[in-house]
Amino acid sequence: MTLRWLPNAISIMRIVLVAPILMYIVEGRYTLALVLFLVAGFSDGVDGFLAKRYDWHTRIGALLDPIADKLLVGGTFITMVIAGLVPAWFAAMIILRDAVIVGGATAYNFFVRPVEGEPTRISKLNTALQLLFVVFVLGHAGFGWPDRIAITVIGAGVIVTVVISGLDYVWSWARRAREDSTQG
């Protein structure tokens, strides 16, 4: 019996965790939200490790993993805006970047060729900083730690990597599309 389905099941579990995380943030139960968010964030690393280590890659997994990430991060940022934990413009930058990536991937998939869903290094750094930012914000809301300066520094890193990774995706897809059109 193979466990090839396990990374997909972990991604589905991450999607299921989104609703309680958002509910706990709205209710001001930041400790519970933080614990579930940490579980969801850890599970993202586990499913990626399993898929790579044992070559358990599937087409559905390539779709489920980024969907789970976008739902978790986007939903958490929107909910943190509603709870007054982060400014709306900050969340809007993150969601706009994700919308550009999803829109670009969709257009590339339909008009050029199927998308190979491999994130860039700067995108991975951006995701890590976003997750750390959420952990810091929820930790500060729940426990008063870390200090605001740590949240500000991580937030600045998020802003820089949001812009760079968004531009990197647009540039690399445009370059690949041009290359494909000259080869075809």
The CA distance from 183 to 40, in Å, is 42
User: In this predicted structure, what is the pLDDT of residue 174?
Assistant: 85
Structure confidence by residue, pLDDT tens digits, 19-32: 999 999 999 999 99
**100 close to 126: Cβ distance less than 8 angstroms:** no
Buried b (16+ CB within 10 A) or exposed e, 112-146: beebeeebeebbebbbebbbbbbbbbbbbbbeeee
pLDDT in tens, 154-179: 999 999 999 999 999 889 888 888 88
pLDDT for the residue numbered 161:
98
- What are the distances in angstroms from CA 66 to CA 25, 47, 61, 88, 121? 22, 12, 9, 23, 15
Residue 119 confidence (pLDDT)? 80
pTM above 0.85, yes or no: yes
Tell me how far apart the alpha carbons of residues 157 and 8 are, in angstroms, rounded to a whole number: 30
pLDDT (0 to 100) of residue 148: 96
At 184 the pLDDT is 60
Contact predicate 52/73, CB 8 Å: no
For domain 6-183, which architecture applies?
Up-down Bundle (1.20)
Distance between CA atoms of residues 108 and 117, nearest Å: 11
* Tokens, residue 157: 């890193």
Which stretches in the chain have pLDDT values below 70?
Answer: 1, 117, 184
Specify the long-range contacts of residues 125-133, CB closer than 8 Å, at least 24 apart.
Answer: 125/161, 125/165, 126/97, 126/158, 126/161, 126/162, 126/164, 126/165, 127/69, 127/73, 129/154, 129/157, 129/158, 129/161, 130/73, 130/77, 130/94, 130/158, 131/41, 131/73, 133/158
1 C-beta neighbours (distance < 10 Å), count: 3
Q: Which residue has the tokens 């809301």?
A: 141
